[in-house]
Structure 1
Amino acid sequence: MDVNIQSIFTGCAGWSLGRDYSAAFTAEGTHLQRYAARLNCVEINSSFYRPYRVQTYQRWGASVPAGFRFSVKVPKLITHVQRLQDCDQALEEFVQQCSGLGDRLGCLLVQLPPSLEFVEGVAEGFFVSLRRCFSGLVVLEPRHESWTGAEALLVHHRIAQAAVDPSCISTDSSPRGWPGFKYWRLHGSPRIYYSPYDPQRLERLAGEMQAAAADGLAAWCIFDNTASGAALGNALTLAQCLAAKRLW
Protein backbone atom coordinates (compact mmCIF):
# COMPACT_ATOMS: atom_id res chain seq x y z
CA MET A 1 0.00 0.00 0.00
CA ASP A 2 1.47 3.33 -1.07
CA VAL A 3 1.02 5.75 1.82
CA ASN A 4 1.88 9.45 1.78
CA ILE A 5 3.41 9.80 5.23
CA GLN A 6 3.45 13.60 5.01
CA SER A 7 -0.36 13.71 4.93
CA ILE A 8 -1.01 12.07 8.33
CA PHE A 9 -1.24 14.32 11.38
CA THR A 10 -2.08 13.57 14.99
CA GLY A 11 -2.09 15.92 17.95
CA CYS A 12 -4.10 17.70 20.61
CA ALA A 13 -6.26 20.75 21.14
CA GLY A 14 -3.46 22.89 22.56
CA TRP A 15 0.15 22.09 23.44
CA SER A 16 -0.04 22.06 27.23
CA LEU A 17 2.18 19.34 28.68
CA GLY A 18 0.52 17.88 31.76
CA ARG A 19 2.66 16.24 34.41
CA ASP A 20 1.38 12.73 33.60
CA TYR A 21 3.08 12.77 30.21
CA SER A 22 5.67 15.55 30.42
CA ALA A 23 8.47 13.00 30.83
CA ALA A 24 7.69 11.70 27.32
CA PHE A 25 8.83 15.03 25.88
CA THR A 26 12.28 16.56 25.71
CA ALA A 27 13.16 18.89 28.57
CA GLU A 28 14.58 21.53 26.21
CA GLY A 29 12.67 24.43 24.68
CA THR A 30 9.24 26.00 25.07
CA HIS A 31 6.16 23.87 25.64
CA LEU A 32 5.36 24.15 21.94
CA GLN A 33 8.88 23.12 20.89
CA ARG A 34 8.82 20.17 23.28
CA TYR A 35 5.36 19.14 22.06
CA ALA A 36 6.38 19.43 18.39
CA ALA A 37 9.33 17.11 18.95
CA ARG A 38 6.89 14.21 19.45
CA LEU A 39 3.64 15.16 17.68
CA ASN A 40 3.23 16.72 14.24
CA CYS A 41 0.14 18.92 14.53
CA VAL A 42 -1.87 20.95 17.02
CA GLU A 43 -5.17 22.81 17.15
CA ILE A 44 -5.03 26.41 18.28
CA ASN A 45 -8.33 26.70 20.15
CA SER A 46 -7.54 29.92 21.98
CA SER A 47 -8.00 31.82 18.69
CA PHE A 48 -11.71 31.13 19.19
CA TYR A 49 -11.67 33.45 22.21
CA ARG A 50 -9.11 36.11 21.34
CA PRO A 51 -7.14 37.43 18.34
CA TYR A 52 -3.38 37.06 18.07
CA ARG A 53 -0.96 39.34 16.30
CA VAL A 54 0.66 38.19 13.07
CA GLN A 55 3.98 38.28 14.93
CA THR A 56 2.70 35.74 17.47
CA TYR A 57 1.72 33.32 14.73
CA GLN A 58 5.07 33.92 13.05
CA ARG A 59 6.88 33.06 16.27
CA TRP A 60 4.88 29.85 16.69
CA GLY A 61 5.46 28.83 13.09
CA ALA A 62 9.18 29.47 13.31
CA SER A 63 9.55 27.37 16.47
CA VAL A 64 8.35 24.03 15.03
CA PRO A 65 9.84 21.58 12.50
CA ALA A 66 9.14 22.01 8.80
CA GLY A 67 6.64 19.14 8.69
CA PHE A 68 4.57 20.38 11.64
CA ARG A 69 1.12 21.85 10.97
CA PHE A 70 -1.37 24.01 12.88
CA SER A 71 -5.15 23.88 12.73
CA VAL A 72 -6.57 27.25 13.77
CA LYS A 73 -10.08 27.65 15.16
CA VAL A 74 -12.19 30.41 13.63
CA PRO A 75 -13.18 33.07 16.23
CA LYS A 76 -16.49 32.86 18.08
CA LEU A 77 -17.21 36.42 16.88
CA ILE A 78 -17.74 34.91 13.44
CA THR A 79 -19.40 31.60 14.32
CA HIS A 80 -21.32 32.32 17.53
CA VAL A 81 -21.88 36.09 17.65
CA GLN A 82 -22.30 36.98 13.99
CA ARG A 83 -23.54 33.43 13.27
CA LEU A 84 -21.77 33.38 9.88
CA GLN A 85 -23.40 36.62 8.70
CA ASP A 86 -21.91 40.05 7.94
CA CYS A 87 -18.45 38.86 8.92
CA ASP A 88 -16.34 39.56 5.83
CA GLN A 89 -14.03 42.01 7.62
CA ALA A 90 -13.63 39.73 10.65
CA LEU A 91 -12.81 36.80 8.35
CA GLU A 92 -10.22 38.79 6.44
CA GLU A 93 -8.57 40.00 9.65
CA PHE A 94 -8.47 36.48 11.10
CA VAL A 95 -6.98 34.94 7.97
CA GLN A 96 -4.43 37.74 7.73
CA GLN A 97 -3.38 37.12 11.33
CA CYS A 98 -2.97 33.35 11.14
CA SER A 99 -1.23 33.61 7.77
CA GLY A 100 1.78 34.45 9.92
CA LEU A 101 2.16 30.68 10.30
CA GLY A 102 3.22 30.51 6.65
CA ASP A 103 3.37 26.97 5.30
CA ARG A 104 2.86 25.62 8.84
CA LEU A 105 -0.81 26.63 8.57
CA GLY A 106 -2.50 23.30 7.90
CA CYS A 107 -6.20 24.14 8.05
CA LEU A 108 -8.95 26.23 9.58
CA LEU A 109 -11.54 24.75 11.94
CA VAL A 110 -15.09 26.15 11.89
CA GLN A 111 -17.02 24.89 14.92
CA LEU A 112 -20.65 25.97 14.93
CA PRO A 113 -22.89 26.52 17.97
CA PRO A 114 -25.50 23.78 18.63
CA SER A 115 -28.28 26.33 18.07
CA LEU A 116 -27.14 27.36 14.58
CA GLU A 117 -29.43 25.79 11.98
CA PHE A 118 -28.43 25.24 8.38
CA VAL A 119 -29.80 28.00 6.17
CA GLU A 120 -28.46 27.48 2.69
CA GLY A 121 -28.24 31.16 1.74
CA VAL A 122 -26.39 32.07 4.93
CA ALA A 123 -24.00 29.12 4.63
CA GLU A 124 -23.37 29.83 0.94
CA GLY A 125 -22.59 33.47 1.65
CA PHE A 126 -20.20 32.54 4.44
CA PHE A 127 -18.34 29.93 2.40
CA VAL A 128 -18.01 32.33 -0.54
CA SER A 129 -16.55 34.98 1.77
CA LEU A 130 -14.22 32.46 3.39
CA ARG A 131 -12.99 31.15 0.06
CA ARG A 132 -12.43 34.69 -1.15
CA CYS A 133 -9.68 35.13 1.45
CA PHE A 134 -8.52 31.55 2.13
CA SER A 135 -7.93 28.77 -0.39
CA GLY A 136 -6.48 26.15 1.97
CA LEU A 137 -8.02 23.25 3.87
CA VAL A 138 -11.13 23.95 5.94
CA VAL A 139 -13.01 21.60 8.27
CA LEU A 140 -16.50 22.20 9.66
CA GLU A 141 -17.91 20.85 12.92
CA PRO A 142 -21.67 21.49 12.75
CA ARG A 143 -23.74 20.69 15.85
CA HIS A 144 -27.34 21.11 14.66
CA GLU A 145 -29.05 18.22 12.90
CA SER A 146 -30.21 20.43 10.02
CA TRP A 147 -26.61 20.51 8.73
CA THR A 148 -27.07 16.96 7.48
CA GLY A 149 -28.57 18.67 4.44
CA ALA A 150 -25.42 20.65 3.68
CA GLU A 151 -23.40 17.90 1.98
CA ALA A 152 -23.62 19.22 -1.58
CA LEU A 153 -22.71 22.75 -0.49
CA LEU A 154 -19.71 21.50 1.48
CA VAL A 155 -18.45 19.52 -1.47
CA HIS A 156 -18.90 22.50 -3.81
CA HIS A 157 -16.82 24.78 -1.57
CA ARG A 158 -14.25 22.12 -0.64
CA ILE A 159 -15.23 22.09 3.04
CA ALA A 160 -14.65 18.85 4.96
CA GLN A 161 -17.00 17.81 7.77
CA ALA A 162 -15.26 16.48 10.86
CA ALA A 163 -15.88 13.09 12.38
CA VAL A 164 -16.81 13.89 15.97
CA ASP A 165 -16.99 11.90 19.19
CA PRO A 166 -19.27 12.12 21.08
CA SER A 167 -21.49 12.51 18.04
CA CYS A 168 -23.67 15.63 17.83
CA ILE A 169 -25.58 14.95 14.61
CA SER A 170 -26.44 11.83 12.64
CA THR A 171 -23.76 12.32 9.97
CA ASP A 172 -20.67 13.05 12.08
CA SER A 173 -19.56 9.56 13.12
CA SER A 174 -17.18 9.50 10.14
CA PRO A 175 -15.58 12.21 7.98
CA ARG A 176 -17.97 13.65 5.40
CA GLY A 177 -18.40 16.76 3.25
CA TRP A 178 -15.66 17.41 0.72
CA PRO A 179 -13.89 14.04 0.30
CA GLY A 180 -10.42 15.49 -0.24
CA PHE A 181 -9.65 15.90 3.45
CA LYS A 182 -10.33 13.71 6.53
CA TYR A 183 -10.46 15.14 10.03
CA TRP A 184 -11.30 13.37 13.29
CA ARG A 185 -12.07 15.47 16.38
CA LEU A 186 -12.32 13.33 19.51
CA HIS A 187 -13.60 15.06 22.66
CA GLY A 188 -13.60 12.06 25.00
CA SER A 189 -16.35 9.50 25.52
CA PRO A 190 -18.41 8.69 27.54
CA ARG A 191 -17.35 11.68 29.66
CA ILE A 192 -16.73 14.51 27.26
CA TYR A 193 -13.35 16.28 27.60
CA TYR A 194 -12.19 13.71 30.18
CA SER A 195 -12.51 10.08 29.06
CA PRO A 196 -9.52 8.45 27.32
CA TYR A 197 -9.86 6.20 24.27
CA ASP A 198 -8.79 2.58 24.53
CA PRO A 199 -5.89 1.17 22.48
CA GLN A 200 -8.22 -0.90 20.28
CA ARG A 201 -10.13 2.22 19.22
CA LEU A 202 -6.88 3.99 18.42
CA GLU A 203 -5.59 1.02 16.43
CA ARG A 204 -8.75 1.07 14.29
CA LEU A 205 -8.40 4.82 13.83
CA ALA A 206 -4.80 4.39 12.68
CA GLY A 207 -6.05 2.00 10.02
CA GLU A 208 -8.66 4.50 8.83
CA MET A 209 -6.05 7.23 8.62
CA GLN A 210 -3.75 4.87 6.74
CA ALA A 211 -6.49 4.15 4.22
CA ALA A 212 -7.12 7.87 3.69
CA ALA A 213 -3.42 8.58 3.21
CA ALA A 214 -3.15 5.67 0.76
CA ASP A 215 -5.79 7.48 -1.31
CA GLY A 216 -3.63 10.60 -1.30
CA LEU A 217 -5.72 12.49 1.26
CA ALA A 218 -4.67 14.55 4.24
CA ALA A 219 -5.79 12.77 7.43
CA TRP A 220 -5.88 14.57 10.77
CA CYS A 221 -6.84 13.45 14.26
CA ILE A 222 -7.11 15.92 17.12
CA PHE A 223 -7.77 14.84 20.70
CA ASP A 224 -9.78 17.36 22.72
CA ASN A 225 -10.12 15.26 25.89
CA THR A 226 -7.70 17.64 27.55
CA ALA A 227 -9.44 18.30 30.89
CA SER A 228 -7.99 15.12 32.40
CA GLY A 229 -4.77 15.18 30.38
CA ALA A 230 -5.90 12.10 28.43
CA ALA A 231 -5.41 13.85 25.08
CA LEU A 232 -1.63 13.69 25.25
CA GLY A 233 -1.62 10.00 26.11
CA ASN A 234 -4.06 9.19 23.33
CA ALA A 235 -2.13 11.25 20.77
CA LEU A 236 1.14 9.56 21.70
CA THR A 237 -0.46 6.12 21.48
CA LEU A 238 -1.97 6.89 18.08
CA ALA A 239 1.40 8.19 16.91
CA GLN A 240 2.97 4.91 18.01
CA CYS A 241 0.31 2.94 16.12
CA LEU A 242 1.01 4.96 13.00
CA ALA A 243 4.76 4.59 13.40
CA ALA A 244 4.35 0.82 13.77
CA LYS A 245 2.50 0.85 10.45
CA ARG A 246 5.37 2.90 8.98
CA LEU A 247 3.08 5.80 8.22
CA TRP A 248 5.39 8.58 9.43
Structure 2
Amino acid sequence: MRVRIGTAGWSIPSIHAAAFPAEGTHLERYAARFDAVEINSSFYRPHRVTTYRRWAASVRDDFRFAVKIPRRISHELRLVDCGDTLDRFVAEASGLGDKLGVLLLQLPPSLAFDAKVLSAFLALCRTTTQVPIACEPRHPSWFTGAADRLLADRRVARVAADPAPAKGAGEPGGWPGLVYLRLHGSPVMYRSAYGEAELDRHAALLRCHGGWCIFDNTAAMAATGDALDLQARLASPERRAGPVV
Protein backbone atom coordinates (compact mmCIF):
# COMPACT_ATOMS: atom_id res chain seq x y z
CA MET A 1 0.00 0.00 0.00
CA ARG A 2 2.98 2.34 -0.11
CA VAL A 3 2.46 5.52 -2.12
CA ARG A 4 5.32 6.95 -4.15
CA ILE A 5 4.97 10.45 -5.57
CA GLY A 6 7.35 12.16 -7.98
CA THR A 7 7.81 13.86 -11.31
CA ALA A 8 9.22 13.08 -14.73
CA GLY A 9 12.80 14.21 -14.21
CA TRP A 10 14.19 15.92 -11.14
CA SER A 11 14.26 19.58 -12.10
CA ILE A 12 13.37 21.94 -9.25
CA PRO A 13 11.65 25.15 -10.42
CA SER A 14 12.80 28.27 -8.61
CA ILE A 15 9.26 28.95 -7.43
CA HIS A 16 9.41 25.75 -5.35
CA ALA A 17 13.09 25.87 -4.36
CA ALA A 18 12.28 26.66 -0.73
CA ALA A 19 10.64 23.24 -0.34
CA PHE A 20 14.00 21.52 -0.98
CA PRO A 21 17.44 21.63 0.64
CA ALA A 22 19.68 24.39 -0.66
CA GLU A 23 22.77 22.18 -0.96
CA GLY A 24 23.54 19.21 -3.19
CA THR A 25 22.95 18.22 -6.78
CA HIS A 26 19.50 18.61 -8.28
CA LEU A 27 18.87 14.89 -7.76
CA GLU A 28 20.11 14.93 -4.18
CA ARG A 29 17.88 17.89 -3.37
CA TYR A 30 14.90 16.35 -5.16
CA ALA A 31 15.32 13.01 -3.37
CA ALA A 32 15.32 14.72 0.01
CA ARG A 33 11.63 15.53 -0.55
CA PHE A 34 10.30 12.85 -2.92
CA ASP A 35 10.87 9.09 -2.94
CA ALA A 36 10.39 8.37 -6.65
CA VAL A 37 11.27 9.78 -10.03
CA GLU A 38 10.67 8.80 -13.64
CA ILE A 39 13.63 8.84 -16.03
CA ASN A 40 12.23 9.79 -19.44
CA SER A 41 15.55 10.58 -21.11
CA SER A 42 16.21 6.83 -21.53
CA PHE A 43 13.37 6.83 -24.07
CA TYR A 44 15.43 9.06 -26.38
CA ARG A 45 19.01 8.03 -25.73
CA PRO A 46 21.03 5.43 -23.79
CA HIS A 47 22.82 6.18 -20.54
CA ARG A 48 26.00 4.49 -19.37
CA VAL A 49 25.71 2.01 -16.54
CA THR A 50 28.10 4.24 -14.60
CA THR A 51 25.61 7.11 -14.95
CA TYR A 52 22.84 4.99 -13.47
CA ARG A 53 25.17 3.96 -10.65
CA ARG A 54 25.96 7.59 -9.90
CA TRP A 55 22.27 8.43 -9.76
CA ALA A 56 21.59 5.49 -7.44
CA ALA A 57 24.39 6.60 -5.12
CA SER A 58 22.86 10.10 -4.93
CA VAL A 59 19.61 9.04 -3.24
CA ARG A 60 18.55 7.41 0.01
CA ASP A 61 17.99 3.66 0.32
CA ASP A 62 14.19 3.75 0.03
CA PHE A 63 14.16 5.91 -3.12
CA ARG A 64 13.09 4.24 -6.38
CA PHE A 65 13.48 5.04 -10.08
CA ALA A 66 11.08 4.27 -12.91
CA VAL A 67 12.95 4.04 -16.21
CA LYS A 68 11.26 4.47 -19.58
CA ILE A 69 11.96 1.75 -22.14
CA PRO A 70 13.62 3.16 -25.31
CA ARG A 71 11.47 4.29 -28.21
CA ARG A 72 13.61 2.07 -30.44
CA ILE A 73 11.79 -0.87 -28.81
CA SER A 74 8.30 0.57 -28.44
CA HIS A 75 7.90 2.92 -31.41
CA GLU A 76 10.38 1.80 -34.07
CA LEU A 77 10.56 -1.99 -33.66
CA ARG A 78 7.05 -2.04 -32.14
CA LEU A 79 7.95 -4.81 -29.67
CA VAL A 80 9.23 -7.19 -32.40
CA ASP A 81 12.80 -8.46 -32.90
CA CYS A 82 14.12 -6.22 -30.16
CA GLY A 83 16.08 -8.68 -28.02
CA ASP A 84 19.50 -7.09 -28.45
CA THR A 85 18.19 -3.57 -27.79
CA LEU A 86 16.30 -4.75 -24.73
CA ASP A 87 19.34 -6.58 -23.36
CA ARG A 88 21.47 -3.43 -23.70
CA PHE A 89 18.87 -1.25 -22.05
CA VAL A 90 18.34 -3.58 -19.11
CA ALA A 91 22.10 -3.98 -18.62
CA GLU A 92 22.48 -0.20 -18.50
CA ALA A 93 19.53 0.40 -16.16
CA SER A 94 20.72 -2.36 -13.86
CA GLY A 95 23.28 0.15 -12.65
CA LEU A 96 20.49 1.41 -10.40
CA GLY A 97 20.60 -1.86 -8.48
CA ASP A 98 17.78 -2.30 -5.96
CA LYS A 99 16.67 1.28 -6.61
CA LEU A 100 15.29 0.31 -10.02
CA GLY A 101 11.59 0.09 -9.17
CA VAL A 102 9.65 0.02 -12.45
CA LEU A 103 10.24 -0.22 -16.19
CA LEU A 104 7.79 2.00 -18.06
CA LEU A 105 6.63 0.88 -21.50
CA GLN A 106 4.80 3.68 -23.32
CA LEU A 107 3.31 2.55 -26.63
CA PRO A 108 2.52 4.69 -29.68
CA PRO A 109 -1.16 5.56 -30.31
CA SER A 110 -0.99 3.60 -33.58
CA LEU A 111 0.03 0.31 -31.95
CA ALA A 112 -3.06 -1.90 -31.57
CA PHE A 113 -3.28 -4.77 -29.12
CA ASP A 114 -1.92 -8.00 -30.56
CA ALA A 115 -1.91 -10.87 -28.08
CA LYS A 116 0.78 -12.84 -29.92
CA VAL A 117 3.17 -9.89 -30.18
CA LEU A 118 2.60 -8.83 -26.56
CA SER A 119 3.03 -12.36 -25.20
CA ALA A 120 6.29 -12.83 -27.06
CA PHE A 121 7.64 -9.46 -25.95
CA LEU A 122 6.76 -9.95 -22.28
CA ALA A 123 8.26 -13.44 -22.34
CA LEU A 124 11.44 -11.87 -23.71
CA CYS A 125 11.39 -9.27 -20.95
CA ARG A 126 11.15 -11.94 -18.28
CA THR A 127 14.23 -13.71 -19.60
CA THR A 128 16.10 -10.45 -19.05
CA THR A 129 14.67 -8.88 -15.89
CA GLN A 130 12.18 -9.42 -13.08
CA VAL A 131 11.67 -5.69 -12.49
CA PRO A 132 7.94 -4.77 -12.46
CA ILE A 133 6.63 -3.35 -15.74
CA ALA A 134 4.00 -0.65 -16.20
CA CYS A 135 2.54 -0.41 -19.70
CA GLU A 136 0.96 2.77 -21.05
CA PRO A 137 -0.94 1.82 -24.23
CA ARG A 138 -2.82 4.48 -26.15
CA HIS A 139 -4.72 2.63 -28.88
CA PRO A 140 -8.39 1.94 -27.92
CA SER A 141 -8.00 -1.81 -28.55
CA TRP A 142 -5.93 -2.15 -25.37
CA PHE A 143 -8.80 -1.24 -23.07
CA THR A 144 -10.65 -4.53 -23.34
CA GLY A 145 -11.04 -7.58 -21.18
CA ALA A 146 -8.69 -9.66 -23.33
CA ALA A 147 -5.82 -7.18 -23.11
CA ASP A 148 -6.38 -6.65 -19.40
CA ARG A 149 -6.36 -10.38 -18.67
CA LEU A 150 -3.16 -10.94 -20.62
CA LEU A 151 -1.40 -8.10 -18.81
CA ALA A 152 -2.62 -9.40 -15.45
CA ASP A 153 -1.48 -12.95 -16.27
CA ARG A 154 1.98 -11.62 -17.12
CA ARG A 155 2.09 -9.44 -13.97
CA VAL A 156 2.21 -6.22 -15.95
CA ALA A 157 0.28 -3.17 -14.76
CA ARG A 158 -1.63 -0.93 -17.15
CA VAL A 159 -0.95 2.74 -16.48
CA ALA A 160 -3.79 5.03 -15.48
CA ALA A 161 -3.18 8.09 -17.66
CA ASP A 162 -4.59 11.60 -17.57
CA PRO A 163 -5.78 12.88 -19.95
CA ALA A 164 -7.08 9.45 -20.92
CA PRO A 165 -6.39 8.72 -24.63
CA ALA A 166 -9.30 6.25 -24.81
CA LYS A 167 -12.24 5.11 -22.73
CA GLY A 168 -10.96 3.24 -19.70
CA ALA A 169 -7.40 4.56 -19.98
CA GLY A 170 -7.81 6.78 -16.94
CA GLU A 171 -8.21 3.82 -14.57
CA PRO A 172 -5.54 1.32 -13.50
CA GLY A 173 -5.67 -2.07 -15.19
CA GLY A 174 -3.75 -5.23 -15.80
CA TRP A 175 -1.87 -6.67 -12.82
CA PRO A 176 -3.31 -5.23 -9.57
CA GLY A 177 -0.01 -5.67 -7.75
CA LEU A 178 1.20 -2.36 -9.18
CA VAL A 179 -0.73 0.88 -9.61
CA TYR A 180 0.99 3.52 -11.73
CA LEU A 181 -0.56 6.92 -12.43
CA ARG A 182 0.93 9.16 -15.13
CA LEU A 183 -0.57 12.62 -14.98
CA HIS A 184 0.30 14.66 -18.07
CA GLY A 185 -1.64 17.83 -17.24
CA SER A 186 -5.20 18.82 -18.07
CA PRO A 187 -6.74 20.55 -19.97
CA VAL A 188 -3.44 21.36 -21.73
CA MET A 189 -1.18 18.29 -21.81
CA TYR A 190 2.29 18.72 -20.35
CA ARG A 191 1.52 22.29 -19.22
CA SER A 192 -1.62 22.60 -17.09
CA ALA A 193 -1.56 22.24 -13.31
CA TYR A 194 -4.24 20.14 -11.63
CA GLY A 195 -7.03 21.65 -9.58
CA GLU A 196 -8.17 20.61 -6.13
CA ALA A 197 -10.88 18.24 -7.35
CA GLU A 198 -8.48 16.30 -9.58
CA LEU A 199 -5.82 16.05 -6.88
CA ASP A 200 -8.41 14.89 -4.35
CA ARG A 201 -9.55 12.18 -6.76
CA HIS A 202 -6.02 10.92 -7.33
CA ALA A 203 -5.28 11.05 -3.60
CA ALA A 204 -8.37 8.93 -2.87
CA LEU A 205 -7.29 6.27 -5.36
CA LEU A 206 -3.77 6.13 -3.93
CA ARG A 207 -5.09 5.84 -0.37
CA CYS A 208 -7.12 2.80 -1.38
CA HIS A 209 -4.56 1.03 -3.57
CA GLY A 210 -1.12 2.52 -2.95
CA GLY A 211 1.18 2.80 -5.96
CA TRP A 212 3.14 5.32 -7.96
CA CYS A 213 1.98 8.76 -9.06
CA ILE A 214 4.20 10.59 -11.53
CA PHE A 215 3.43 14.10 -12.74
CA ASP A 216 4.56 14.64 -16.33
CA ASN A 217 3.16 18.17 -16.72
CA THR A 218 6.66 19.61 -16.70
CA ALA A 219 6.61 21.95 -19.71
CA ALA A 220 5.35 24.90 -17.67
CA MET A 221 6.89 23.70 -14.38
CA ALA A 222 3.53 22.58 -12.91
CA ALA A 223 4.63 19.05 -11.99
CA THR A 224 6.62 19.88 -8.86
CA GLY A 225 3.86 21.99 -7.34
CA ASP A 226 1.26 19.30 -8.06
CA ALA A 227 3.47 16.60 -6.55
CA LEU A 228 4.05 18.66 -3.40
CA ASP A 229 0.32 19.38 -3.15
CA LEU A 230 -0.64 15.72 -3.54
CA GLN A 231 1.98 14.72 -1.00
CA ALA A 232 0.49 17.17 1.49
CA ARG A 233 -3.04 15.91 0.86
CA LEU A 234 -2.05 12.33 1.57
CA ALA A 235 -0.26 13.36 4.74
CA SER A 236 -3.16 15.45 6.05
CA PRO A 237 -5.56 13.59 8.41
CA GLU A 238 -8.51 15.82 7.53
CA ARG A 239 -8.27 14.73 3.90
CA ARG A 240 -8.31 10.97 4.49
CA ALA A 241 -12.03 10.51 3.96
CA GLY A 242 -13.80 10.35 0.62
CA PRO A 243 -14.63 7.81 -2.07
CA VAL A 244 -12.61 6.94 -5.12
CA VAL A 245 -14.45 8.42 -8.11
Q: Distance in 2 between matches of 1:95 and 1:78?
A: 12
Q: Distance in 2 between matches of 1:71 and 1:234?
A: 19
2:28 to 33, 37, 40: 33
Instruction: Judge which range, 235-244 or 40-49, deviates more.
Output: 235-244
Q: Which amino acid aligns with 1:175?
A: P
Structure-2 residue corresponding to 1:216: none
SS of 2:5 mapped into structure 1: strand
Structure-1 residue corresponding to 2:81: 86
1:206 to 203, 207, 223: 203
Q: Distance in 2 between matches of 1:237 and 1:163?
A: 19
Structure-2 residue corresponding to 1:232: 224
User: 1:204, CA displacement in angstroms?
Assistant: 2.6
Number of residues paired by the alignment?
A: 237
Q: Distance in 1 between matches of 2:196 and 2:61?
A: 29
Instruction: Compute the TM-score of the two structures, normalised by the length of structure 2.
Output: 0.93
Answer yes or no: is 1:191 the counterpart of 2:149. no
Q: Which amino acid aligns with 2:185?
A: G
User: 1:44, CA displacement in angstroms?
Assistant: 0.0
Structure-1 residue corresponding to 2:159: 162
Q: Which amino acid aligns with 1:123?
A: L
Given that 1:140 and 1:160 are in contact with CA atoms closer than 8 Å, whether structure 2 keeps it comes out as yes
Q: Please list the CA deviations of residues 201-224 of structure 1 after superposition, one character each: whole Å capped at 9, or x if unmatched.
A: 2123222111113xxxxx000000
Gaps (5+ residues) in structure 2? 241-245
2:169 to 172, 179, 201: 172
Q: Distance in 1 between matches of 2:198 and 2:167?
A: 20
User: 1:152, CA displacement in angstroms?
Assistant: 1.4
Answer yes or no: is 1:106 the counterpart of 2:104. no
Percent identity between the aligned chains? 51
Q: Distance in 2 between matches of 1:143 and 1:206?
A: 24
Runs of 4+ residues over 4 Å off in structure 1: none
2:122 to 127, 134, 142: 127
Q: Please list the CA deviations of residues 75-120 of structure 1 after superposition, one character each: whole Å capped at 9, or x if unmatched.
A: 0000011110000111111111111111111100000011111111
Instruction: Compute the TM-score of the two structures, normalised by the length of structure 1.
Output: 0.92
Q: Distance in 2 between matches of 1:240 and 1:99?
A: 32
Q: Distance in 1 between matches of 2:143 and 2:13?
A: 37
Q: Distance in 2 between matches of 1:67 and 1:241?
A: 21
User: 1:193, CA displacement in angstroms?
Assistant: 0.5
Q: What is the Cα-based RMSD across aligned positions, in Å?
A: 1.4
Structure-1 residue corresponding to 2:72: 77
SS of 2:14 mapped into structure 1: coil
Gaps (5+ residues) in structure 1? 214-218
Answer yes or no: is 1:96 the counterpart of 2:119. no
Given that 1:116 and 1:144 are in contact with CA atoms closer than 8 Å, whether structure 2 keeps it comes out as yes
Answer yes or no: is 1:152 the counterpart of 2:152. no
Given that 1:202 and 1:238 are in contact with CA atoms closer than 8 Å, whether structure 2 keeps it comes out as yes
User: 1:58, CA displacement in angstroms?
Assistant: 0.5
Given that 1:199 and 1:237 are in contact with CA atoms closer than 8 Å, whether structure 2 keeps it comes out as no
Q: Which amino acid aligns with 2:190?
A: Y
